[in-house]
């Protein structure tokens, strides 16, 4: 039986590739995509999610729009990474489908309630929707199998020296999620920066269907920020690693560790403070990804994307 999942996202180049990976993978059943403001505005993330699902010939998968801004702070988008539309690079037609009539958290609650088995949530953007879901529907935790989120880092950040973007964008929401007691797997920069993909695979990708062509164009744009910032000719496909861990459990090597979220210091706000060496007696609250075979994952990812009709 495929694992039922909901992806909560802010497409976003790597979000888009993560959604395509899920669609291309029989190990999971994508029940819906929810959107949040993050890489770009909620309007853009929602439109981009609809575009990606139609690109993959899956207009049947619902897209429900969620929070347009963080719980407390103002939204600061990442257009320097993903462009004005949040999905700059490929030219995709305007979507024919409309978003689901329910707000993302009501959609998630209804889907969790109705589904016969517990559902795995895969948040790959700021955690605003997940925090709101837990606050609005506290009993929903019974229907959540686990949360496999892209966010945080044991080591350096990427939005600031201390903080990774998804956690930095809404640290208060992250504190709610990491304090929820749910079975959390934290897929942070320590592993996603091992999952690097660049134009060297574009010929193979272009040999696939339209989806492969579009992923090649997404990569060409996405590499730009990473070339300027890190001197790389590849880009980390952050969000796809979180989906990959659900498709192939054990993809990332984890340790059960205590993770706290810094929500106040101006210099380190948004940092995931991971007790890597268990020097405190804080109770572990997340399975923190520490290592993975990045090239092997990228091979699997490209194969799945190329397999999309």
Is 244 a binder of ligand RIB (CB under 6 A)?
no
Contact 251, 297 (CB under 8 A): yes
Query: Whole-number minimum distance, CB 46 to ligand RIB, in Å?
Result: 15
* Binder of ligand RIB out of 8, 190, 239, 245 (CB under 6 A): 239
48 binds, options Ca ion, ligand RIB, none, Cβ within 5 to 8 A by partner type = none
Of 76, 103, 85, 68, nearest to 16 by C-alpha is: 85
In the complex with Ca ion, which residue's Cβ is closer, 31 or 87?
87
Residue of 226, 238, 256, 287 marked catalytic = 238
Q: What is the DSSP string of 178-191?
A: HTS---EEEE-HHH
Query: Whole-number minimum distance, CB 11 to ligand RIB, in Å?
Result: 8
Contact partners, residue 230, CB within 8 Å, separation at least 6: none
Closest chain position to ligand RIB (CB):
165
Classify residue 284 by its DSSP letter.
Answer: P
In the complex with Ca ion, which residue's Cβ is closer, 62 or 125?
125
Query: Whole-number minimum distance, CB 66 to ligand RIB, in Å?
Result: 14
In the complex with ligand RIB, which residue's Cβ is closer, 88 or 109?
88
Positions 149 through 168 that interact with ligand RIB (CB under 6 A): 150, 158, 164-166
Contact 6, 111 (CB under 8 A): yes
Positions 179 through 238 that interact with ligand RIB (CB under 6 A): 238
Positions 31 through 90 that interact with ligand RIB (CB under 6 A): 38-39
165 binds, options Ca ion, ligand RIB, none, Cβ within 5 to 8 A by partner type = ligand RIB
Of 5, 70, 85, 78, nearest to 39 by C-alpha is: 78
158 binds, options Ca ion, ligand RIB, none, Cβ within 5 to 8 A by partner type = ligand RIB
In the complex with ligand RIB, which residue's Cβ is closer, 78 or 102?
78
Contact 18, 8 (CB under 8 A): no
CA atoms within 13 A on the CB side of 206: 10
196 pairs with which residues across the strands?
236
Is 25 a binder of ligand RIB (CB under 6 A)?
no
In the complex with Ca ion, which residue's Cβ is closer, 19 or 259?
19
Q: Any idea what the Cα angle at residue 230 is, between residues 229 and 231, rounded to 5°? A: 105
Of 99, 89, 112, nearest to 31 by C-alpha is: 112
In the complex with Ca ion, which residue's Cβ is closer, 8 or 275?
8
Tell me if residue 287 is catalytic.
no
Alpha helices for the chain (secondary structure H): 13-23, 42-55, 79-82, 104-114, 128-136, 165-169, 171-178, 189-192, 202-206, 210-230, 238-247, 294-307
Contact partners, residue 116, CB within 8 Å, separation at least 6: none
Q: Near ligand RIB by CB under 6 A, which window of 9-17, 23-31, 41-49, 203-211?
A: 9-17
- Residues 277-296, one symbol each (x = binds ligand RIB by CB under 6 A, - = not), give --------------------
Positions marked catalytic:
238
Q: Which residues of this protein are in contact with ligand RIB, per CB under 6 A? A: 10, 12, 14-15, 38-39, 124-125, 150, 158, 164-166, 238-239
């Amino acid at each position: 039986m495929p694992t039922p999942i909901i992806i909560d996202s802010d497409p976003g180049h790597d979000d888009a590739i993560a959604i395509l990976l899920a669609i291309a993978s029989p190990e999971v059943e994508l029940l819906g995509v929810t959107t949040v403001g993050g890489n770009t505005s909620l309007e853009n993330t929602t439109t981009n999610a609809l575009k990606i699902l139609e690109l993959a010939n899956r207009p049947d998968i619902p897209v429900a729009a969620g929070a347009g801004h963080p719980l407390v702070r103002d939204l600061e988008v990442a257009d320097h990474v993903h462009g004005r539309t949040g999905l700059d690079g490929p030219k995709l037609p305007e979507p024919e489908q409309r978003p689901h009539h329910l707000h993302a958290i009501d959609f998630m609650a209804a889907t969790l309630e109705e589904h016969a088995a517990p559902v795995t949530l895969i948040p790959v953007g700021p955690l605003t929707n997940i925090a709101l879901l837990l606050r609005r529907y506290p009993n929903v935790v019974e229907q959540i199998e686990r949360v496999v989120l892209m966010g945080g880092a044991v080591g350096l950040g990427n939005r600031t020296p201390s903080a990774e973007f998804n956690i930095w964008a809404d640290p208060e929401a992250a504190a709610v999620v990491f304090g929820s007691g749910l079975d959390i797997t934290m897929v942070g920069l320590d592993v996603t920066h091992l999952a690097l993909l660049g134009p060297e695979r574009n010929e193979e990708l272009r040999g696939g269907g339209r989806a492969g062509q579009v992923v090649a164009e997404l990569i060409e744009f996405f590499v730009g920020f990473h070339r300027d910032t890190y001197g790389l000719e590849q880009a980390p496909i952050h969000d796809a690693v979180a989906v990959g861990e659900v498709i192939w459990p054990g993809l990332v090597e984890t340790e059960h560790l205590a993770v706290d979220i810094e929500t106040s210091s101006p210099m380190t706000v948004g940092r995931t403070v991971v007790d890597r060496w268990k020097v405190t007696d804080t109770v572990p609250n997340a399975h923190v990804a520490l290592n993975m075979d990045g090239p092997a994952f990228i091979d699997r990812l490209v194969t799945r994307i190329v397999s999309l009709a």
